[in-house]
Chains A and B, each alone.
Chain A
């Protein structure tokens, strides 16, 4: 009755195939886990639902945050009862960029929380500390901010709501970033209810510099100009006779102060910020070119910037859009919205020969002993504009400052290229946001790009451009 023995050789290969299959899945799973911990886990660790930070604060004192020039802007202190608390020496000055710890976390405090709670002091020191029950000091974060520039921007904005952002064009380093209304991170927990009170509707927690949605006003004429150049294969010939207003489909667009600019080429129309000329230019543009130009300039997509939750800028035009909307869009009204960051990135690219450097504000992590743990290297996004476009835009933006809408502003010895804007934002056309975007160059060739918006302030040349001048002066002196 003994059954015949099965021949092993015949079944050998299939077992190998199945075993190899499983082995491959196991290996893939191990690699996936390693990749997650090394690369993917940051999104999870920083998530506000992750409540495990107390694990680290038991052994490590949260590190300090500095400006690039060494001012402490966030530090951990101990009170009389030996409880740690977070101190922000400059109160509101860095409230949106640095953020807060207390009622949850935000800003750099949130995105670098994990790194600030790591200690890279020498191993024997760490073991010593553990044995003697002392906390090790966490690593410090050096930001890209320049203290004086930030202060000039903050003080310059004064009582106005709005935002200022300044970027070093050849690296993408954010030199200053201010958003108002703001809050005091030292007392965020006590004042939480007042700050988040929706009936007051001032959204003080929102960083308007990167997440504001503003009508760009005349600063958008930079985009329209680029679209015009692209629609005409780079030819800058333009001729228009401005009579102070233009009527498109029964919709009347006025020039500023209803002034008639007379005969204008592209340079004149730009430096005069002539609404009639740009409305006329807009309705004659190929809409596909207009849209593709805007999209190539980062409209309708997430901005390549390591600054937190930025807002996408919106631009929408197609064949069904009416001429009057297109005309308004061309002068920066209509449905288009931008963030100050986006406008600053645009002029930063112009200042850097068309190449956009991705903005960042966290420069390096340094251990208590002064060793650099990790440092951010500037990253190029690529070219947004051709050399010819940059050359023409520089010429136009220089004319704005020399004998255009901003010729009244005193920029000192600096060479400044810019564009003012006065953006209507409600049905009341007498209240307007004041815009200035542009960049300055000093004698040794250093550059700084800036975007300023002051809500409800009025003419760009009267408020935003002088503020930009103050920021430039603080930076270059």
Chain B
């Protein structure tokens, strides 16, 4: 009987994902839709998310005969309610679609982590609760700061020092230094430096508004990137580089500078390619994974076996074999989703990620104030490039870079950092300090 449910759920899960994606697309084209229409759409999306989560939880409950999945479901639904309530208490949210997408990605994350590793799923759920609490605290702190851009050097210092510590004392994983260990807990500081980095760059630009801003931002960004390259965390280095280049472009609107920066980055890339053998092996694994299938190409080949064998409609939730893919809960979780939900659903997820990126740019566009306009643009850029690097690496679109998929991959640091980013984006027009005389400081 369970196998019938799994087979039947192939259709229902796909239907929920398709409906969600469809509304996402409508909302991209209908930014100025009427209040009523918008809230109906938004409600349907929320319902789809809840149905999706219920469906996967029930399958897991019946397949594994373990009631913990029902308790987790209750907890997760409560968490979603708290996210919605907290944002509505904090501010008038910039984008309802953004909240729905965040919950959609969290749902996928919970469902697949539960399916892949119960222990990690429980921990990720705890991370999500912690992230929610810290995000609310961060928003409240930001409201107490009068002129946030004047702290730009503090942000630069925090970022550079954290990265230096990792570079010197970090734990080596997959050939790169990524994390710091404190007993049982291991954190990836580079995830938080993403935020301080954006605050620093935006601060430079807003404070000086001229060539000096560009100069300081460039020196700071260069330091960040160089330290990351020395730690061999090249995926993150690339994310920082792209965020810097595009933010400068948005702020200064200068195509010549953009061209120059891209040239410098390209030269740097070629140098890095020749200097680091592990980049070269990633390129080999990308260009012809089957030729090195038992060695460097093993992971990407396993990923493509999963996606290819799953086909358009997938093997059915819990009916695939995604655990054969190394690091499937982190970098390669997209392959697991493609295998079991099918490629149609996987393409829908890509579209939802794209819509999220556009929603973020739309929020940036509607920011009243230039500092947060730049920060939210930076968030949109980081979210997009990180998504592209992750999924592109999983489907052999580009060489694998070892970055996580926002909200979906297992990992507390990545989740917390993205949580804060989205809360900042949602509250971006509401992050000013009002003194007791009612004067507003940005």
Contacts and interface: CB of A to CB of B under 8 A. Distances in A.
B186 interface: no
A159 interface: no
Contact of B354 (A26, A33, A42, A45): A26
Interface in B50-69: none
Nearest to A19: B361
16 contacts: A2-B441, A6-B369, A6-B373, A11-B250, A15-B250, A22-B388, A26-B351, A32-B397, A34-B347, A37-B312, A44-B308, A45-B305, A47-B290, A47-B301, A50-B305, A55-B315
A43 B441 contact: no
Contacts of A27: 354
A18 B246 contact: yes
B304 A44 contact: yes
B179 interface: no
Interface string A369-401: 000000000000000000000000000000000
Given A11-B250, A52-B320, 15 more contacts: A5-B369, A19-B358, A19-B380, A26-B357, A32-B397, A34-B343, A44-B301, A44-B304, A44-B308, A45-B305, A47-B301, A49-B294, A52-B305, A52-B309, A52-B324
Interface residues of A, number: 44
Contact of A29 (B290, B364, B388): B388
B395 A33 contact: yes
A5 B384 CA distance: 28
Contacts of A17: 249
A60 to B, nearest CB: 13
A33 B373 contact: no
Nearest to B312: A37
B7 A36 contact: no
B440 interface: yes
Nearest to B320: A55
A5 B370 CA distance: 7
Contact of A51 (B249, B253, B324, B392): B324
A18 B308 contact: no
Contacts of B4: 130-131
Interface in B336-361: 338, 343, 346-347, 350-351, 353-354, 357-358, 361
B290 to A, nearest CB: 6
A51 B320 CA distance: 11
Contacts of A36: 304, 307-308, 395-396
A471 B391 CA distance: 55
Nearest to A24: B354
**Closest CB pairs A-B (n = 6):** A41-B308, A6-B370, A26-B354, A50-B305, A19-B361, A22-B384
A17 B245 CA distance: 13
Given A45-B309, A49-B305, A33 B358 contact: no
A429 interface: no
Contacts of B321: 51-52, 54-55
B358 to A, nearest CB: 6
A30 B307 CA distance: 13
A200 interface: no
Interface of B: 3-4, 7, 246, 249-251, 253, 290, 293-294, 301, 304-309, 311-312, 315, 319-321, 324, 338, 343, 346-347, 350-351, 353-354, 357-358, 361, 364-365, 368-370, 373, 377, 380-381, 384-385, 387-388, 391-392, 395-397, 439-442
A14 interface: yes
A247 interface: no
A429 B249 CA distance: 77
A55 B364 CA distance: 46
Given A32-B397, A130-B3, A2 B306 contact: no
A26 B307 contact: no
Contacts of A41: 304, 307-309, 311
B57 to A, nearest CB: 23
A15 B343 contact: no
A26 B395 CA distance: 13
Contacts of A1: 439, 441
A47 B364 contact: no
A50 B335 CA distance: 14
Interface string A306-343: 00000000000000000000000000000000000000
A373 to B, nearest CB: 15
Contacts of B7: 130
B395 A18 contact: no
A14 B369 contact: no
A221 B46 CA distance: 76
Contacts of B315: 55
A170 to B, nearest CB: 35
Contacts of B306: 52
A32 B391 CA distance: 11
A23 interface: yes
A30 to B, nearest CB: 5
Among A25, A37, A38, A40, chain B packs the most CB atoms within 10 A around the CB of A37
Contacts of A25: 384, 388
Given A15-B377, A37-B343, A51-B324, A23 B290 contact: no
A428 to B, nearest CB: 39
Contacts of A3: 369, 442
Contact of A33 (B251, B253, B346, B439): B346
Contacts of B351: 26, 30
Contact of B392 (A15, A29, A49, A54): A29
Interface string A134-167: 0000000000000000000000000000000000
Nearest to B347: A30
A45 B308 contact: yes
